[in-house]
Every structure is written in C-alpha cells, then in structure tokens.
Amino acid sequence: MAADELDLRLQARARRAYELGRLLAALRLAPFVLAAAVAAIACGRPFPVTCALALPLLLLSVGLAYAGGPAGRAVVPGLLAGAGALAAPLLMATVGHACFGPACMSLALPACVAGGGLAGVVIARTTVRRDADLPFVLGALAVAALTGALGCTLAGAAGVLGMLAGVVVAGAPVLVAARR
C-alpha cells in the first residue's frame, strides 16, 4: 500500500466523519419541528394538513442547517419567530374560542396577523443585530412562514395569508429603518 493511497483513504474517512457530524448537528432541530407539529395536532389541527406543512418545514430546517452559511444560521431564529405565529391562533382555540365559519375570523384571523407581525419584527431585528444578508432573511422567513402556518391554518388560507402579510408589514419597516 502506497503512502498516497493511505493518504486518500484517510482523507475520505475524515470527509465522511465531517459530513456525518454536520448532519447529526442539523438533525438536532428535528425535535423542535416535531414538537410544533404535535402542538398543532393537539390543538385540533387536521393531521393531513399538519403533516403537509411539518414535512417541508423539517426538510427545510435540516437542509438549511446542514448546508450552513447565512441561511443555515437563520433556521433557529426562523423557528423562534414562527413560534409566536404558531401559538397565537392555537391559544385562541384552547381558551374556548369556537372556530367555525365567520366566528373563526373574528379572533383567529387577527391573531394570525398579529403573530405574523411579531415574527416579522423578530426576523428584522435579528437580521439587523447579526448584520445578516439576503440568504439569512430568506431562510428565516421561509422557516417562520412554515412554522406559523402550522397554527394559522386554523383560520384557513386567509389565516396563513394574514400571517404572511403581518410578517411583511411589520418586519419590512424595521429592517429598512435599521439599514439606514
């Protein structure tokens, strides 16, 4: 066995160990995504809808964290920002607010918009504090949107769109003002 061949084998083993370590570190986010999905299901969200949102959220979170860089660093702030948008409408459901038809829109829709606004402000402030760039903002927004959508489906598509509008309306001015 030549020294060059041994060196190549060692490099390959080191590379595999490095990539496995990165994957295991990224998979540490999975319990948080699964906890958000379980919370949504426990609060009465339909299982198929929750799975349809939680699976892309899980893949996006783990994928971005594995890839690293600015977008990878945005996953945790995105999950935290989206948690408010997830919790607001679910809290409405757990405190006895019946969410059927027009009655749902009376409180759940504003809760989604307010939760989205909170998420937008959190993302904007985190972006400014870290002096982050566009990949960070896009990564955080994508993760927060999927996380918040787990709860905002309570108000239907209008709830999800209201949450996204809240993110933009509340986050954009904070981000623009801080960049000046």
Model confidence pLDDT, tens digit, residues 82-132: 998 888 877 776 665 555 555 555 677 888 888 888 998 898 889 888 887
Q: Quick one: pLDDT band at residue 57, thresholds 50, 70, 90?
A: very high
Q: Show the tokens assigned to 27.
A: 């998979």
11-30: average pLDDT: 93
Q: Residue 62 above 90 pLDDT?
A: yes
Query: What type of residue is 62?
Result: V
Sketch the domain layout of the chain as residue ranges.
3-179
pLDDT of 97 reads 54
Enter the pTM of the model: 0.84
Least confident piece of the model among 3-7, 74-78, 114-118: 3-7
Q: Which residues contact 84 (CB under 8 A, 6 or more apart)?
A: 115, 118, 119, 122, 148
For 179, other C-beta atoms within 10 Å of its C-beta total 10
Closest CA to 86 of 133, 5, 138, 143: 143
Determine how many CB atoms are found less than 10 A away from the CB of residue 103. Answer: 11
Are 97 and 107 contacting, i.e. CB atoms less than 8 angstroms apart?
yes
For residues 50 and 41, the answer to whether their CB atoms sit within 8 Å is yes
Tell me the three state secondary structure of residue 119. helix
